[in-house]
DNA sequence: CCAGGTAGTCAACAACGGTTGATATAGATC
DNA sequence: GATCTATATCAACCGTTGTTGACTACCTGG
């Protein structure tokens, strides 16, 4: 998942800037991420960062698309889509400070930045909700969107808000819950009934 | 849900500032919300806004607590907790531009602002996850947290990201899905199995 | 009438952060 | 060697925004 971390003999400066940007945007919100920081990560001048990508927004957009390949996860998921997604969400504390960037990291960091919103909505539909919905049988885009929202919500509570209750993975209990929730959403056919109280 | 919108003959300016702040924070992110805007909403000077609340962060904190009374919703929910929550999430387009502020509005707008995070985590635990978990039978704090994360995720996708697939409420289908998902999470006992594929 | 606190204004600071234009350096091409 | 382009730097601009301190207006109690 780490993007081209071993710089080729000739890793163009532009690429190195992009790498640094990905990392920054994955750990801080859009506003918190300053071009000057990215620049000094790479060891170049701010002006060059700007010039290379045209604007902060453009850089953000490129960083966003560069991150994920969500479909790769889905491809390797086999028929246990729910399990794969759940694992992807929970497995992470291990490589906490590594230079790894998980699919939704950038999204959840900037969910509320108006300046980043437009870029992200398109991205989410094309690169996340799309693939998931394709994985589901029929044209279940809404279910895919719901699942994605669930994933984003949980990720945010875990990694941004850092709500303790969603961080301890004692005995994989949490992961199991998430997996089952997703599985349930996948299987939702406006027929099944499982909960406690009747509507 | 609108906070004391009919200003008493003597609605102290401080209160009016707080009201304006609530509204701003519920519609824009922490960074986007400028003290100067709030000030001009009320018709006072920025300096006074600052002086009244000590700092932007303090103002945010007060706005946050002033908003919700989540437990009120839960109290009126009867035994259909899932239904009540789902309705709360989806019912909203109607009074879109009204001066109404829904429970999670402020939270989902600033989910990723580092400066707002600490304030919010405490708030979420005390005023949202807490009440929900109390409503559940046993000490199911984790399930409550999961449900809350789900609610936040869906709300964000609806109102901040504005993902179309989660906005159309044709025939209440979406609301039903959400209700069932929550109901399922409530009923989760690491036993039930409902989805398509086996783990 | 005066002291004193409350409610509020005004101007300015200080720091930040994206953006810009003019300039330097170096390698390739002719 | 002269020129041209890609790569990069430097300094400065310009708007924004939270914050501060000094100052004004007003009402109240003595």
Domain boundaries, chain A: 11-65, 68-186
Burial of A19 (0-12, 13-18, 19+ CB in 10 A): buried
Burial of A52 (0-12, 13-18, 19+ CB in 10 A): middle
B163 pLDDT above the threshold of 80? yes
Residue whose pair of structure tokens reads 């009244």 in the numeric block:
B52
Q: Do A161 and B111 touch (CB under 8 A)?
A: yes
Mean pLDDT throughout A96-100?
Answer: 67
pLDDT band at B90 (very low <50, low <70, confident <90, very high): confident
pLDDT band at B75 (very low <50, low <70, confident <90, very high): confident
- Dist CA B64 CA B68 (whole Å): 8
Angle at A148 between CA A65 and CA A84, to 5 degrees: 90
Nearest to B179 among A185, A186, A199 (CB): A199
Closest alpha carbon within chain A to B106: A112
Mean pLDDT over all residues of chain A?
78
B8 pLDDT above the threshold of 60? no
- Between A139 and B187, name the one with better pLDDT: B187
Q: List CB contacts (< 8 A) between A183 and chain B.
A: 194-197, 199
Q: What is the CATH number of domain B11-65?
A: 1.10.10.60
Mean pLDDT over all residues of chain B?
78
Is the CB atom of residue A110 positioned under 7 angstroms from any atom of strand C?
Answer: no
Q: List CB contacts (< 8 A) between A146 and chain B.
A: 154, 166, 177-178, 181
Mean pLDDT throughout B173-177?
Answer: 81
B11 pLDDT above the threshold of 60? yes
- Provide the CA A40 distance to its chain's centre, in angstroms: 25
Mean pLDDT throughout B168-190?
Answer: 74
Helix or strand run (H / E) with residue B187: helix B173-187
- Dist CA A169 CA A175 (whole Å): 7
A1 pLDDT above the threshold of 50? no
In strand D, which positions have an atom below 7 A from any protein CB? 7-12, 16-22
Give percent above pLDDT 70 in chain A: 77
């Amino acid at each position: 998942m780490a993007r081209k971390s071993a710089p080729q003999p000739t890793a163009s400066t532009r690429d190195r800037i992009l790498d640094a940007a990905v990392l920054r945007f994955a750990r801080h919100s859009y506003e918190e991420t300053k071009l000057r920081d990215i620049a000094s990560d790479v060891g170049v001048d701010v002006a060059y960062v700007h010039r290379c990508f045209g604007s902060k927004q453009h850089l953000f957009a490129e960083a966003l698309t560069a991150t994920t390949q969500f479909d790769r996860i889905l491809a390797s998921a086999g028929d246990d889509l729910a399990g794969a997604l759940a694992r992807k969400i929970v497995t992470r504390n291990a490589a906490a400070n590594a230079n790894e960037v998980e699919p939704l990291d950038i999204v959840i960091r900037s969910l509320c930045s108006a300046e980043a919103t437009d870029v992200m909505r398109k991205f989410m539909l094309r690169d996340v909700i799309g693939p998931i919905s394709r994985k589901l049988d029929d044209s279940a885009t809404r279910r895919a969107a719901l699942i994605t929202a669930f994933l984003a919500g949980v990720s945010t509570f875990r990694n941004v808000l850092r709500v303790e209750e969603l961080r301890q993975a004692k005995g994989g209990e949490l992961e199991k819950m998430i997996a089952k929730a997703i599985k349930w959403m996948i299987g939702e056919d406006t027929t099944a009934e499982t909960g406690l109280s009747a509507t």
